[in-house]
Amino acid sequence: MESKYTLGMIGLGTMGRNLLLNMADNGFAVTGYDKDPNMIQKLKEDGAKHNLNAYESLEDFIQSLELPRRIMLLVPAGPIVDSVIKELEPLLDKGDIIIDSGNSHFTDTSRRAIELSDKGIHFFGMGISGGEEGARFGPSIMPGGDKTAYGAMKEILEAVSAKVNGDPCVTYIGPGASGHFVKMVHNGIEYAMMQLMAEAYDLMRTALGYSNEQIFSVFEEWNNGRLQSFLMEVTRDIFAFKDEVTGGFLIDMIKDEAKSKGTGKWTTQVSVDLQLPIPTINEAVTTRDLSKYKTLRVNLSKTYPEEKVTVENKEAFIVELEQAMYFSVITSYAQGLHLLWQASASYEYDLNLHEIAQIWRGGCIIRAAFLEDIYQAYKKQPDLEHLYADAGIASKMKEILPGMRNVVIEATKIGLAIPAFASALTYFDSLRTEKLPANLIQAQRDFFGAHKFERTDAEGVFHAIWNPVKA
């Protein structure tokens, strides 16, 4: 009797193909399915040493899998996922497992899990981070949902994930759509860090007059220190990359309009729903949108021209810029983790933040040296509400706060937009303030809308007659 495959992958694009190759390298018998014959041929070529096979027929693909069937989807998020599931349903048996490994919105994952559970099919959503290289050699994996299904996949996922100090960068995240929720927040943090690096680049280019070679050197120095991260490495290398067309640096030829696929926007939207502020992440999302108004920006730059002003003490400023970057990176992680803390309670995900920090240390896009500090902070205090409250983090923040303030002051003086840096500082100042002016807002609401207010000297809610009607 012909042996069956342990797992089947639907979607043999770069991510799906590389993940299958990773599984084959780790000794698992795997196969794939794709409607595009070219994708099947590409898998066969890349997986020749493992004799990897794939199918154009969905029925043949399904019949090739051992029971219970493990089927992983790596297709574009949205209606395509529902379409694939609809095609699969008549061909599956009760107890079979579907794993959605794309960037699906967590609410879609919740709905699909309920619908499939009613039909006896296990389903869970799984975030994967690390890009095509991570998929091929070890990503960070965030599976959440059906725990029975995760148990059937655990051995495979631990084998193919990235490793840090021998620990696999995968863990069971929690019930429901928690896996996709955590991946969504991961992407929000990624947005913030990318925006911060872009603002640092602009400060070096405009306020300091640095060349691409000098900016490369700064990012290289930062990456050799406490700011070490995958994104820092990528950003450093961009400034050394030459353009084949002009012979100059490619970065100088790229139009300044940033695109997005939506996961950052989702993070912003859910933060509003949960009433949990993440302003630095929000600014990163907003600034990408603002960048698309290129014609308007060009016209307004002529309406409001400014004289070019540079920072006088460049040596001191670059030291402070490193401090501001570190301060803001800490803040970006803190905002994302605070959102996870709130979502854990609101959606009953029961998230383990120290395990999430642990699996983000390797394989994923936001992997960084600082994640070890985060991991230790939450390991020491599993119920830690906010990263700022950790004594070790607080000590670092206090040390670099003056540099953070000076960078924001200098950028404001010379008219450079630094929305992510500025929001990180304002967020910090708001959270550390015992008495905010929100009492005035509440008074205003009561004045014009009778929305009532709470007092500092008595329990209950009150309403004042602010403007009594004169007889």
**CB-based contact 374:405 (threshold 8 Å):** no
Q: What residues does each domain of the chain span?
A: 7-176, 183-431, 439-471
pLDDT tens-place string over residues 368-412: 999 999 999 999 999 999 999 999 999 999 999 999 999 999 999
Say yes or no to pLDDT of 147 above 60: yes
**CB-based contact 105:266 (threshold 8 Å):** yes
Which superfamily does 439-471 belong to? 6-Phosphogluconate Dehydrogenase, domain 3 (1.20.5.320)
Q: Which residues are catalytic?
A: 183, 190
pLDDT bracket for residue 470 (50, 70, 90): low
pLDDT tens-place string over residues 26-60: 999 999 999 999 999 999 999 999 999 899 999 99
User: Any idea which fold 183-431 has?
Assistant: N-(1-d-carboxylethyl)-l-norvaline Dehydrogenase; domain 2 (1.10.1040)
Q: Give dist(CA 48, CA 41) in Å, integer.
A: 10
Average pLDDT over residues 199-208: 96
pLDDT tens-place string over residues 95-132: 999 999 999 999 999 999 999 999 999 999 999 999 88
CATH dotted code for 7-176: 3.40.50.720
Domain 7-176 and domain 183-431, same fold? Reply is no
pLDDT bracket for residue 166 (50, 70, 90): very high
pLDDT tens-place string over residues 226-266: 999 999 999 999 999 999 999 999 999 999 999 887 788 99
pLDDT bracket for residue 146 (50, 70, 90): confident
